[in-house]
Copies of this chain bind each other. A is one copy, B any other.
Amino acid sequence: MIKIIKVGGNIIDNPTKLKSFLKDFALLDGQKILIHGGGKLATDLCVTLGIESKMVDGKRITDSETLKVVTMVYAGLINKDIVAKLQAFGCNAIGLSGADMNIIPAKKRVDTKIDWGFVGDITPNTLKAEKFEFFLQTQITPIFSAITHDGEGNLLNTNADTIASVIASTLANAGHKVSLVYTFEKKGVLVDVNDNSTIIKKITFGSFNELKEKKIVHSGMIPKLENAFKSIAEGVQEVKICMAEDLHDFENAGTTISLH
């Protein structure tokens, strides 16, 4: 089972939590891949440099100056810091963007209403599983920043959750058993967002529609779950949503997403 783990901004922004998370990640058995977001570091650097952060529906518009910042912060500062720390924990990590080895080719988003700038969209059929094989076979652990490219010389900013799900689907399609784990700041999907004891241990495709109708799940959780179901439909064995601090026991922790 290949473990594909997404870690979000709340951990990246906290050096102590990040170190602890990376220690747990290094200890996970077998083949694994980490995808990281950027946290507040990129926004903070934009503020310092006087670059206005333009958001639409919580999504960042990436003009050329913002692209430079996210490339520096995601693919440089955060990615290499994670790699160096994992090496110290005995995990033979390699930091990658989608441009490296052309491993995640993307398409610049075309939207007739909004110019998203340098934002890249990806789909499973644009990725080639064989590009991952060398790393999987030699137990080298790829660490992906959320930067891709268009094959025409432009880097692109791509949603880290989407990268995780597309890598998972690609490897599942190629015959691998894949477990996809989204870590975040809560114990899992919660009925009461402020009460970790209200965790929903399992969500099926049927119960998801119910949860949406009753507005128990909303906003940021909906695309996360939609991605999860897409991955399951595309052959991923299991999708987990759990607290980053529970990574060492992710099999038993969090919310499990399955078709039935």
Where the two chains meet, the residues of A that have a C-beta atom closer than 8 Å to any C-beta of B are 48-49, 68, 71-77, 79-81, 83-85, 87-88, 92-97, 99-102, 134, 138, 140, 147, 149, 151-155
Contacts and interface: CB of A to CB of B under 8 A. Distances in A.
Copies, count = 2
Given A95-B97, A100-B83, A71 B77 contact: yes
Q: Is chain A's binding surface mostly helix, strand, loop or mixed?
A: helix
A153 B87 contact: yes
Given A87-B153, A94-B101, A95-B97, A76 B71 contact: yes
Contacts of A93: 99-101
A77 B76 contact: yes
A242 to B, nearest CB: 25
Given A151-B87, A153-B87, A71 B75 contact: no
B95 A102 contact: no
Contacts of A72: 72-73, 76-77
A88 to B, nearest CB: 4
Which of A68, A79, A80, A96: most chain B Cβ within 10 A? A80
Nearest to A100: B94
